[in-house]
């Protein structure tokens, strides 16, 4: 089928990416008509758990960013966009090093959507305005937007926007200005606000 061909082609592409900040794909195949990926086991858990334990320090948040951002650069250079970057997809190995997972899954989802009709790929709390609009020409800047949201969440314990429904949260990403992070943690350096406003600009240009 077309999906199977796409899956194999995309799996080969993902498996070729070698970067310390990308959870590697070791194998892929088909079992009882179900496609599968074999990825590295990451025993350190997800960034989600670290955020739940309390606001992270600026130095630790910076360390995580400095490790995973080059991984994003590496995949963006190959024309791959994650589309669903969030703390649950940032996993830690046994030594505390972070890596991004589920690149393949997000990419395959988009491949099937192209064939069957339009659908939104992503999680509303981390979606860029262009994702909310379902723009067809998404690029790596959508992942940069999500990275900004993740930085905000690491430093404050919650995302920049709250609402009663996922759709309402998505609409806030589309229309509402980014709140100053100093409102949540006044002691944080003002430079962080400038970084967030650039990463999460409504206009990706």
Q: Which residues pair with 98 in a beta bridge?
A: 92
- Name the token pair of 180: 């100053």
Contacts of 30 (CB under 8 A, 6+ apart): 4, 36
Respond yes or no: is residue 84 known to be catalytic. Answer: yes
Of residues 84, 93, 143, 203, which has the active-site annotation? 84
- Mode of pairing for the β-strands spanning 25-31 and 90-92: unpaired
Neighbour count for residue 62 (Cβ, 10 Å): 15
Q: Which residues of 100-112 are buried (b: 16+ CB within 10 A; e: fewer)?
A: bbbbbbbbbbbbe
- Name the token pair of 122: 């992503």
Q: Shortest CA distance to 81 belongs to which of 51, 105, 60?
A: 105
CA distance 8 to 187: 49
Q: Which residues are identified as catalytic?
A: 84
């Amino acid at each position: 089928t077309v999906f199977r061909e796409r899956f194999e082609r995309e799996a080969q592409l993902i498996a070729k990416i070698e970067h310390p900040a990308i959870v590697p794909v070791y194998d892929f195949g088909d079992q009882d008509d179900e496609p599968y990926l074999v990825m590295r086991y990451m025993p350190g858990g997800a960034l989600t758990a670290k955020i739940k334990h309390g606001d992270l320090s600026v130095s630790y948040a910076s360390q995580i960013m400095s490790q995973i951002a080059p991984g994003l650069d590496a995949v963006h250079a190959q024309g791959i966009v994650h589309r669903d970057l969030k703390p649950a997809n940032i996993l830690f190995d046994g030594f505390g090093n972070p890596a991004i997972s589920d690149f393949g899954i997000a990419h395959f989802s988009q491949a099937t959507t192209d064939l069957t009709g339009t659908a939104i790929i992503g999680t509303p709390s981390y979606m860029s305005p262009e994702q909310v609009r379902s723009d067809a020409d998404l690029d790596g800047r959508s992942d940069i937007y999500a990275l900004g949201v993740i930085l905000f969440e690491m430093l404050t314990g919650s995302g920049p926007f709250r609402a009663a429904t996922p759709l309402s949260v998505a609409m806030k990403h589309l229309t509402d200005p980014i709140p100053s992070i100093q409102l949540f943690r006044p002691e944080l350096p003002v430079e962080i606000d400038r970084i967030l406003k650039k990463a999460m600009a409504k206009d990706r240009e």
